[in-house]
Structure 1
């Protein structure tokens, strides 16, 4: 089935917005949280690679985007947990992401997809839990939007709201990343 006209623009725009939001978040959080900034930078790299013509289907680039998911997302959540004194969850998330990144070569594409979606949902839920207990509204929005991106990616539908499902997921991920960046800023202000 041929892609609908405009689908390429929708995909390129969603990658571009995710990359720009993630780059802004990386720059904004670099002084306060190097771990979160590195996680945002991994999202920027994955979005940029997928924008390059011909690379979005290259196996190494797809594996790089998957590694950015399983390492970048736990890096985002790491500081949120660490600052709130939940060092075991912070280390567990990051360690789990590292194990998944190393084991990725032994997983099928379907297995990598499920592992990436599971990591996204685990990070979203843990951010949401910490945000609720610390009354961090931006964290609640960020965790919710990251969770929505993870849940939407599991749907069987190819299109949602007249757009490809992956584009909607990237839009939700971009909105969640922006909210999460604000949550980190709010969290730092509370602890200072």
Structure 2
């Protein structure tokens, strides 16, 4: 299939949006939620390096996106659980992400794809569960939108909503990250 004329702009804008949202979230949550800030920063760096010319090979960019998914997203969920006293779930999520980050080299492309999508869905569901029990509306929206990004990535279609599927997933990740940022901010205000 020939690339569409607007596809490059769509991809650049989705990377920029995800990177900007995650960088802003990392900077504004650094004082209160350092784990979440590190998770946001990993996602922002992966989005930035994917679009920056001359910053490495495609394999380096794929490795960065892999680490941002399997470590960055669990760091977000880690803070949701940790702040609410569920330390065992927080440690389990982060430990699982660390194991996947190391094992990623031994998985094939399809295995990494399935594992990455599973991580997104597990993180989304755990954030949603914590948000429901703490009545954190932003957290509920963040969990739902992150889950939607994980489910959309499983679709067989190449285009969704007239955009490439990968771009739609990045826009959903940006929206979910924005909502999670506000959920953590709300959570921090409740604990003060």
Superposition TM-score, scaled by structure 2 size: 0.97
Partner of 1:90: 90
**Residue 33 in structure 1 maps to residue 33 in structure 2:** yes
Partner of 2:73: 73
**Residue 158 in structure 1 maps to residue 142 in structure 2:** no
Partner of 2:167: 167
1:32 is paired with a residue whose SS is coil
Q: How far does residue 61 in structure 1 lie from its aligned partner after superposition? A: 1.6
Q: How far does residue 57 in structure 1 lie from its aligned partner after superposition? A: 6.4
Q: After the TM superposition, which segments of 4 or more aligned residues of structure 1 sit over 4 Å from their partners?
A: 54-57
Partner of 1:22: 22
Can you list the C-alpha shifts for 1:137-174, whole angstroms capped at 9, x where unaligned?
A: 00000000000000000000000011000100000100
Question: Structure 2 CA distance, aligned partners of 1:72 and 1:177?
Answer: 11
Which sits farther off after the overlay, 125-134 or 46-55? 46-55
Give the conservation status (yes or no) of the 8 Å contact 1:56–1:62. no
2:132 is paired with a residue whose SS is helix
What stretches of structure 1 of length at least 5 have no aligned partner?
none
- Report how many residues are paired: 192
Can you list the C-alpha shifts for 1:59-91, whole angstroms capped at 9, x where unaligned?
A: 122112111110000001111100101111100
Decide whether aligned partners of structure 1 residues 166 and 55 sit closer, same or farther in structure 2, where only a CA change above 3 A counts: farther
What stretches of structure 2 of length at least 5 have no aligned partner?
none
Partner of 1:116: 116
Partner of 1:101: 101
Question: Structure 2 CA distance, aligned partners of 1:86 and 1:132?
Answer: 14
**Residue 143 in structure 1 maps to residue 143 in structure 2:** yes
Decide whether aligned partners of structure 1 residues 56 and 178 sit closer, same or farther in structure 2, where only a CA change above 3 A counts: farther
Question: RMSD value over aligned CA atoms?
Answer: 1.1
